[in-house]
Structure 1
Amino acid sequence: MPVRAPRICGCGFRIASGQQCSCERRRAAERNARAEAQRPSARERGYDSKWDREREVYLKAHTTCARPGCRAPATVVDHIIPHRGDRKLFWSRSNWQPMCRSCHSRVKQAEEKRHGYV
């Protein structure tokens, strides 16, 4: 199988295909830190004590991950359609699904990134 040729980073170093230069990793970390600093806290986004109570009730009723093929214990209540601050959509139980942490962190986040939700 053919392998892509190395590339030259803006800083002048030769970088293997599929790799990042240390300067690129540093810039990405700085960009993520700036974005995170501007993001409201979880409590400011609506994940308060009322959410904690409702989440516990929901997870007691829905004990396994909703992802096809994954039957792990559910630990996260996921919003199927990202609510983006819409309080009605946030509290709509028909928009909730139980997920295990692995599926929510890996599969769901990649899916949202692909569809431009993030």
Structure 2
Amino acid sequence: MPVRAPRICGCGYKVASGRQCACEGRRAAERKARAEANRPTARERGYDGKWDKERAAYLAAHPTCRRCGAPSKVVDHVIPHRGDRKLFWSRSNWQPLCTSCHSRAKQAQEKRS
């Protein structure tokens, strides 16, 4: 199988195909830290004690992941609520997901939109 040639990073180092230069990794980590610093806490976004109770009740009623059938651990908002309290509490906008489906597939899908 052919292998792509290495590339030259902006800092001047040669980087193997499919790899990330150390300077690119540092910049990505700094960018993520800045974004996380500006993000409200989960409690500030509405995930409080009331949510914990509703989430537990919903998962008891919907024990399997909607995508793969594994045991569900996460109540996901089908349409991201983005702070809309009515959409946040709308049970028709909830879906049970396993951690894997929520962390991989759903997050990748939201990143694309």
Q: TM > 0.5 between the two?
A: yes
Counterpart of 1:91, as a letter, is: W
Partner-residue secondary structure (3-state), 2:75 = strand
Offset of residue 57 of structure 1: 0.5
Count of paired positions: 113
Offset of residue 5 of structure 1: 2.1
Q: Which runs of 5+ in 2 are unaligned?
A: none
Counterpart of 1:9, as a letter, is: C
What TM-score does the superposition give when structure 1 sets the normalisation length? 0.92
Offset of residue 58 of structure 1: 0.2
- Separation in structure 2 between the aligned mates of residue 45 and residue 18 of structure 1, nearest angstrom: 36
Could you tell me which residue of structure 2 aligns to residue 113 of structure 1?
111
Counterpart of 2:95, as a letter, is: Q
Within-5 A mapping of 1:4-83: 4-67=4-67, 70-83=68-81
Offset of residue 17 of structure 1: 1.6
Q: Which runs of 5+ in 1 are unaligned?
A: none
Greater than 3 Å deviation, 4+ residue runs: none
The alignment-based identity, stated in percent, is 78
- Separation in structure 2 between the aligned mates of residue 105 and residue 84 of structure 1, nearest angstrom: 18
Offset of residue 3 of structure 1: 3.0
Partner-residue secondary structure (3-state), 1:37 = helix
Counterpart of 1:107, as a letter, is: A
Partner-residue secondary structure (3-state), 2:41 = coil
Root-mean-square deviation over aligned CA pairs: 0.9
